[in-house]
Chains A and B, each alone.
Chain A
Amino acid sequence: MFTQLLLAAILSGAIYGLIGLGYSLIYRASGIMNLSQGDAMCLGGFLGYTFYVTLKLPLYLAIPCTLACTFMVGLLLERFVIRPIFKRNVSTSALILATVAVSYIIQSVELIIWGGAPLHLPSFLKTRTMMINGVIYQTETLLIISVALISMITLHFFMKKSSFGIAMRAAAMDQDAARSCGINVEATTRITWAISISLAGLAGMLVGPLYGVTTTLGTAMSGKGFASAVVGGYGDMYGAILGGGILSALETFSAGYISSYLKQMVAYLAVLIMLFIRPRGVLNVEAVKD
């Protein structure tokens, strides 16, 4: 029971981490919350369904195609919605509302194209279970966890080692200073948005076989994403991943040992408690306080 729950916790933790990463990256780059992150995840799920089931592409092609499409969506979103609003010098609250508007538009487009019924991606692997040390694992789960981990590690090396990643981090730290060093801040911001959206899209593709994708899943996953970012420390890459892990562990174990109905509330209670008591999160990130 414990191992099974732990594995389930790691699985959903990886998914929450991928979505939470988007929240943190965007907050660092633009200083706002992107509340359409969960809907971007659903969009990824639907696109994954289209590539993997409708167009019958193999998995190693379907995932990059989904990533590319959501990356494009992120670029377009930043270019045609967020940047024009920034240019008009409106308040941050209006910007956050704009992301809610984007979330509504994405949801309704999904409803119009793919319909309201939940779409289940077929299992990615043929062998369903395997046994290690007498414990039965679902291979699906292991695959999803490893894909999520690989993408997180890739992101880590991209941000730390590549020159563009370093430029992105510099722009997130201080835009004016970065600009005076010759960094194209507009480009880094745009790429940050695109990476965040595509990470969420990847998460959507991965949860496809497990939960199925529906348009209504987006709102719930938005909540889990910002909850993991808040728990770990808002604005920090590793904080989001850590927060996702902590949050899903809390959720899974409270559902497993106390009551399943707590599961819906845990994430939101965690946000409220963390913001009240320790707004800097587990990793002590100085971003939240006024």
Chain B
Amino acid sequence: MEKNKLLQNYKKYLVYLPLVLLALFFPFLLKNFSYGLMFLCFCEMYIIAVNGLDLVYGYSGQITFATAAFFGLGSYGSLLLRNHTGLPVIVCMLLAAVITCIIGMILAYPVSKLRFAFLSLSTISFNHVVFQLATRSPGGITGDYTGAFTDSLTLFGIDFGNYTYFYYFGLACVVIFVILKFNLVRSRVGRAFLAIKQNTAAADGMGINVRKYKVYAFGIYAFYAAFAGTMYAHFVGYVSPETIAQQQSVIFMIMILLGGVTSNWGPIIGAVTVLLLKEVLGYAEQYQLLAYGIILLIFILFLPTGLYGLGKDLIENKKHKKGSLSDVRS
């Protein structure tokens, strides 16, 4: 019985293997198209951040508009640490992510007692405060509106400024973060998140410390977003306040909604689709906003499970075609 379970788990992981192999070969496929490779590097960062957002929005049902703030705190934190202390870049990245995680937990502690609609207001406010701090920092340490420069990532003597190398580094990070999330949501903590989402009062009654788990969710989410931010800082080598703008936070929400919540594939699909859309619509800003608004409405109204849910439904419908209608429904 035990062995069977283990085998099943391996089978679950095996499904991902061809995809990971394909991902490994992308740099060879895109050898003469470095822009495409750069795009994939950005996708990796956003996938990590959106995975963190999925834990808060998808699993624990808390709305947040501060993803860009945590992303920015990570990138600015890592940049400042690197420029002022000269520690190795990877240490700065981890330190910045941990500090942001603590900030996220501190923010979540008082906020988690509020009715959750008010979470949106406090996260919006937090995002604006961080944005204002970045644009007019004390002593101008963040470079204010012009932004600031930093070094690229160097690990074991390899310079990851190169797109191909950074792509592999990012891929490793994505795999690690996705596996961490995969295990987390199947643990006691993940089940507590889901219980809070479905019925806070009932979760409380079952002995789940709602406040504690909300703070956990926020901390983990801040860590994910901040780590993505640090990757951004050391990949681009330059950070400007635009990365913290309120609209960025909404774009993260669009990614998670479009991809589909509470799944492993949702964040990946969502991040890649929205970034592609951004590339296509990049030149017409007013239509970009219109597209975002309409996409949000369509997904909220008609496809609350996102593209991933849609695909899953289609496949399952095909499987059950011979069965009765109730089969399909369930």
Q: Which residues of A contact B (CB under 8 A)?
A: 27, 31-33, 35, 81, 84-85, 88, 90-98, 100-105, 107-109, 111-112, 116, 219, 223, 226-227, 230, 234, 261, 264-265, 267-269, 271-272, 275-276, 279, 287-290
Quick check: A265 and B129 within 8 Å, CB to CB? Answer: yes
Quick check: A271 and B293 within 8 Å, CB to CB? Answer: no
User: Smallest CB–CB gap between A29 and chain B, Å?
Assistant: 14
| Residues of chain B in range 53-96 having any CB-CB distance to chain A below 8 Å | 57, 61-63
Quick check: B121 and A226 within 8 Å, CB to CB? Answer: yes
Query: Per a CB cutoff under 8 Å, which of A101, A111, A272 touches B129?
Result: A272
Q: Mark B38-57, 1 if CB is under 8 A from A, else 0.
A: 00000000000000000001
Quick check: B286 and A98 within 8 Å, CB to CB? Answer: no
| Residues of chain B in range 113-148 having any CB-CB distance to chain A below 8 Å | 113-118, 120-122, 124-126, 128-129, 132-133, 136
Residue on A with the closest CB to B119? A93
Name which of B118, B246, B288, B292 has the most chain A CB atoms within 10 A of its CB: B118
Quick check: B293 and A102 within 8 Å, CB to CB? Answer: yes
Report the Cα distance A219→B113, complex, angstroms.
Answer: 26
Quick check: B61 and A269 within 8 Å, CB to CB? Answer: no
Report the Cα distance A90→B296, complex, angstroms.
Answer: 14
Report the Cα distance A288→B114, complex, angstroms.
Answer: 6
Q: Which residues of B contact A (CB under 8 A)?
A: 57, 61-63, 110-111, 113-118, 120-122, 124-126, 128-129, 132-133, 136, 200, 246, 250, 253, 257, 285-290, 292-297, 300-301, 304
Supply 18 A–B pairs (Cβ within 8 Å), ascending by A: A27-B117, A33-B120, A35-B120, A84-B301, A91-B61, A93-B116, A97-B63, A101-B292, A101-B295, A102-B293, A104-B296, A105-B293, A112-B286, A223-B125, A265-B128, A269-B125, A288-B115, A289-B115
Report the Cα distance A276→B129, complex, angstroms.
Answer: 15
Residue on A with the closest CB to B249? A100
Quick check: A90 and B300 within 8 Å, CB to CB? Answer: yes
Residue on B with the closest CB to A220? B128
Q: Contacts A84-B301, A98-B300; is A272 near B246 (CB within 8 Å)? A: no
Quick check: A81 and B297 within 8 Å, CB to CB? Answer: yes
Contacts of A92 in B (CB 8 A): 63, 116-117
Quick check: A108 and B293 within 8 Å, CB to CB? Answer: yes
Q: Contacts A85-B300, A268-B125, A279-B114; is A104 near B63 (CB within 8 Å)? A: no
Quick check: B124 and A275 within 8 Å, CB to CB? Answer: no
Report the Cα distance A234→B128, complex, angstroms.
Answer: 20
Report the Cα distance A265→B133, complex, angstroms.
Answer: 9
Name which of A85, A108, A111 has the most chain B CB atoms within 10 A of its CB: A108
Contacts of B121 in A (CB 8 A): 33, 226, 230, 271, 275
Quick check: B136 and A101 within 8 Å, CB to CB? Answer: no
Report the Cα distance A288→B115, complex, angstroms.
Answer: 6
Quick check: A108 and B125 within 8 Å, CB to CB? Answer: no
Name which of B129, B300, B301 has the most chain A CB atoms within 10 A of its CB: B300
Contacts of A91 in B (CB 8 A): 61
Quick check: A272 and B132 within 8 Å, CB to CB? Answer: no
Known: A105-B293, A265-B133. 18 other contacts (CB 8 A): A33-B120, A81-B297, A84-B301, A90-B300, A93-B61, A96-B63, A98-B300, A102-B297, A104-B292, A219-B246, A226-B121, A227-B125, A275-B110, A275-B111, A279-B118, A289-B113, A289-B115, A290-B113
Residue on A with the closest CB to B245? A219
